[in-house]
């Protein structure tokens, strides 16, 4: 994560927390992040130095037309003025991380060869919540390369119960064995 994204994202979080707007701004930031992701040409336009700042700021006003919380709208304008709009995603990640820390939430990514059904996801989420003592936001990813089993990344801790992981561990042990 960039230092600018870290600094600006934390600053916005601190302001939002002070004003009791963290939930609202987080939701809007995630929506804006998706809009920017789906429209990279728009971000390029808003970052283009050859387009006068006044016009770029007007484009943002017209695009969001009062639909964003004023602090977030001004935040986006500051990023445009400073030439840092491409750091918006990093700012959102920092905001999310600060929000999660303050609210006892942990992100977890579960990777399986085939998608888990709702009951399996619910059961896994419950176990992870007991393990971590936090509320879990569980994201699922499928990767046929894991062959079978489950790999969970929970706040930087990796729990690898996949066939691929076990085979890799077995291969490592065999390689270390001196004959």
Nearest one of 154, 2, 157 to 92, comparing CA atoms: 2
Provide the residue range defining the domain that includes 159.
Answer: 105-176
Q: What is the pLDDT of residue 177?
A: 79
Do 38 and 22 lie in one domain? The reply is yes
Return mean pLDDT, the chain.
Answer: 89
Do 21 and 80 lie in one domain? The reply is yes
Task: Give, as one character, the DSSP assignment of residue 83.
Answer: T
* Residue 161 pLDDT greater than 70, yes or no: yes
Report residue 78 as tokens: 């500051």
- Which of 73, 100, 127 represents a domain boundary (last residue)? 100
Give me the mean pLDDT over the 129-150 stretch: 88
Tens-digit pLDDT profile for residues 8-64? 999 999 999 999 999 999 999 999 999 999 999 999 999 998 999 999 999 999 988
Task: Give, as one character, the DSSP assignment of residue 65.
Answer: T
Nearest one of 60, 2, 1, 4 to 32, comparing CA atoms: 60
Do 111 and 39 lie in one domain? The reply is no
In sequence order, what are the beta bridge partners of 158? 153
* Residue 97 pLDDT greater than 50, yes or no: yes
Give me the mean pLDDT over the 136-165 stretch: 85
Do 140 and 57 lie in one domain? The reply is no
Report residue 106 as tokens: 């942990």
User: What band does 96 get if pLDDT is binned at 50, 70 and 90?
Assistant: very high
Report pTM. 0.76
Residue 17 is part of a domain; what is its CATH number? 1.10.520.20
Do 8 and 94 lie in one domain? The reply is yes
- Which of 100, 126, 156 represents a domain boundary (last residue)? 100
Nearest one of 176, 150, 179, 178 to 164, comparing CA atoms: 150
Residue 154 is part of a domain; what is its CATH number? 3.40.30
Cβ-count burial 135-156 (b if 16+ within 10 Å, e if not): ebebeeeeeeebeeebbbbbee
User: What band does 1 get if pLDDT is binned at 50, 70 and 90?
Assistant: very low
Do 117 and 96 lie in one domain? The reply is no
Do 42 and 122 lie in one domain? The reply is no
């Amino acid at each position: 994560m960039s230092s600018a994204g870290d600094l600006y994202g934390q600053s916005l979080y601190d302001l939002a927390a002070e004003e009791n707007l963290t939930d609202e701004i987080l939701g809007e930031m995630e929506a804006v992040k998706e809009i920017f992701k789906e429209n990279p040409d728009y971000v390029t336009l808003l970052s283009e130095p050859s387009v006068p700042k006044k016009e770029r700021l007007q484009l943002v006003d017209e695009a969001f037309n009062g639909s964003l919380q004023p602090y977030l709208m001004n935040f986006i304008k500051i990023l445009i003025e400073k030439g840092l709009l491409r750091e918006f995603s990093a700012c959102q990640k920092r905001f999310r991380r600060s929000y999660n820390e303050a609210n006892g939430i942990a992100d977890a990514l579960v990777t399986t060869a085939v998608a888990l059904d709702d009951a399996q996801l619910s059961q896994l989420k419950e176990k992870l919540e007991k393990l971590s003592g936090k509320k879990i936001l569980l994201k699922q990813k499928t990767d046929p390369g894991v062959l079978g089993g489950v790999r969970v990344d929970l706040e930087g801790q990796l729990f690898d119960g996949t066939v691929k992981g076990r085979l890799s561990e077995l291969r490592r042990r065999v390689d270390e064995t001196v004959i």
